[in-house]
Amino acid sequence: MNELQKAAAGLLYDANHDPAVLEMRLQAKVKLHDFHALSPANVTARQAILRSLLGRIGARFTIEGPFHCDYGFNIGIGDDFYANVNLVILDGAPVTIGHHVFVAPNVGLYTAAHPLDAARRNQGLEYALPITIGDHVWIGAGVSVMPGVSIGSGSMIGAGSVVTRDIPAGVVAVGNPCRVLRATTEADARQTRFAKP
């Protein structure tokens, strides 16, 4: 079993010294460098780079730069995706994102984690657990989504939240750690005036 097969199985793997793993991350960094070097007006070339980097990306997407990921091939994104600046996806394990998902600035999706004991951390070992985000999700500014978390369709994650547990579908969830505040309602769909919470 190679190191990325171990990662896919949720086992400890060598993310810091294995030559094959390091080469795959370097290839991703080179593509991201090319992406960032292009003018934002060169939409076609920027999208072509992202399509060559990511495992799957649907129709009609925008990822504002800067954007960073570890490998790219573990990321699958549906149609009508928008990510604002400074999206970071650590994709040692699969990251699956549904259709019509909006991501605010400075969001991190982190599949990677490290052992609690220093000896194994010092060996360069880590593990990765998949992240799944359903359809019609809005993730607010500065949110961190931790390894192994799922966010249900139609939910909204409030700015600054740290999502350490699964979030069900159709809710507003906020905080550190992120907790369900309330279910979304039909009144939300009719709201036309917005005030500070």
Catalogue the active-site residues: 114
Question: What letter represents residue 1's amino acid?
Answer: M
DSSP string across 33-71: HHHHHS-TT-HHHHHHHHHHHSSEE-SSEEEPSPEEES-
Cβ atoms of 14 and 115 within 8 Å: the answer is no
Q: Which helix (H) or strand (E) holds 31?
A: helix 19-37
> What residues does 108 pair with on adjacent strands?
88, 144
Structure tokens at 173: 């969830």
> What residues does 67 pair with on adjacent strands?
87
In angstroms, the first-to-last Cα distance of the chain is 51
**Strand-pair category, 112-113 with 95-97:** unpaired
Cβ atoms of 140 and 104 within 8 Å: the answer is yes
* Number of neighbouring beta carbons within 10 Å of residue 167: 24
